[in-house]
Copies of this chain bind each other. A is one copy, B any other.
């Protein structure tokens, strides 16, 4: 059965549903304890003149079942780029093309902005996602690692310098 859904930009009132999806993805990634953000944070940060992200939603009559959140970055090789931070479809609705519809909408947004590159990250064991991305023409760069310093590390480093 084909799903009846629409893809649209998010509004402030959707941020509760978006946070639920963020938590669902974090659980899948075995990192649920890492989610510190609140609905109020998302409302403050995602809207208005200085919005820090753009979020697209997949919605059925039952409610919001998927989200894609993206923002601009800056490459010293290419200039402005678009980063896809999260692409989430709630578990019960996977395998119906909804993730691809959200992904396509983000790529259209990138094209309309005129960016030279779209990028994102993937867990190296998530072979389903990797196969999908490669089938669309994206390249997985296996020789670049991500480095992070968290708040505690930052505080510790700056107190010792």
**For residue A145, which residues in chain B have a CB less than 8 angstroms away from its CB?**
121-124, 130, 140-142, 144
Q: A107-B158, A108-B158 are in contact. Are A77 and B149 (CB under 8 A)?
A: no
Q: Does A137 contact B (CB under 8 A)?
A: yes
Given A121-B145, A123-B143, A157-B107: A116 and B76 interface contact (C-beta under 8 Å): no
Interface size for A (C-beta < 8 A) is 66
Contacts A73-B73, A74-B45, A108-B158 given; indicate if A79 touches B37 (C-beta within 8 A).
yes
Contact A154 B74 (CB under 8 A): no
Q: Say if the beta carbon of A153 comes within 8 Å of chain B.
A: yes
A77–B34 contact, CB under 8 A? yes
Q: Is A61 an interface residue (CB 8 A)?
A: no
Contacts of A74 in B (CB 8 A): 45, 52-53, 69, 71, 85
Q: A120-B146, A124-B145 are in contact. List 17 more A-B contacts (CB 8 A).
A: A36-B116, A37-B77, A41-B79, A45-B79, A52-B80, A76-B85, A110-B154, A123-B144, A124-B143, A133-B147, A136-B153, A137-B149, A138-B153, A140-B145, A144-B145, A144-B146, A146-B146
